[in-house]
């Protein structure tokens, strides 16, 4: 999770794609501005993490500014490990 957050900060699209599980990896990124120049990432708070064999979840809050306006992304991400490498599968957004 932390490496993917760092990839967003650095706008490392190649790493984001490589660390996304092939079964759910988008071919295009419709969710811009996640890595565009108008987004400034401000911090990551990992709230919970669970690991069960080759599956894991991470609940986090990431803060950013998009065009100067503060935003928060609160997600529970699912990961799977294959051949020793962790891949992001998908995420859900907890209700407020």
Residue 16's CATH number: 3.10.450.50
Does residue 30 belong to any structural domain of this protein?
no
Q: What total of structural domains would you count in the chain?
A: 1
Q: Which residue has the higher pLDDT, 95 or 56?
A: 56
Contact assessment for residue 76 and residue 88, using Cβ atoms and an 8 Å cutoff? no
Structural domain including 86 reads 2-25+38-92
Q: What is the mean pLDDT of residues 23-32?
A: 75
Does residue 31 belong to any structural domain of this protein?
no
| Burial track 59-84 (b if 16+ CB lie within 10 A, e otherwise) | bbebebeeeeeeeeeebbbbbbeeee
Q: What is the mean pLDDT of residues 30-54?
A: 85
Provide the pLDDT for residue 44.
97
Provide the pLDDT for residue 30.
57
Residue 33, preceding peptide bond in cis (omega within 30° of 0): yes
Does residue 32 belong to any structural domain of this protein?
no
Does residue 11 belong to any structural domain of this protein?
yes
Does residue 33 belong to any structural domain of this protein?
no
**Structure pTM?**
0.87
Q: Which residues pair with 40 in a beta bridge?
A: 65
Q: What is the mean pLDDT of residues 27-50?
A: 81
Does residue 79 belong to any structural domain of this protein?
yes
Total count of residues recorded for the chain: 96
Apex 32 CA angle, 86 and 82, nearest 5: 10
């Amino acid at each position: 999770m932390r490496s993917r957050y760092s990839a967003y900060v650095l706008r490392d699209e190649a790493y984001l794609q490589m660390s996304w599980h092939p079964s759910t990896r988008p071919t295009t990124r419709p969710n811009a501005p996640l890595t565009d120049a108008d987004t400034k990432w401000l911090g990551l708070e990992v709230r919970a993490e669970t690991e069960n064999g080759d599956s894991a979840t991470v609940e986090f809050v990431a803060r950013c500014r998009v065009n100067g306006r503060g935003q928060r992304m609160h997600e529970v991400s699912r990961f799977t490990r294959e051949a020793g490498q962790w891949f992001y599968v998908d995420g859900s957004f907890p209700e407020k």
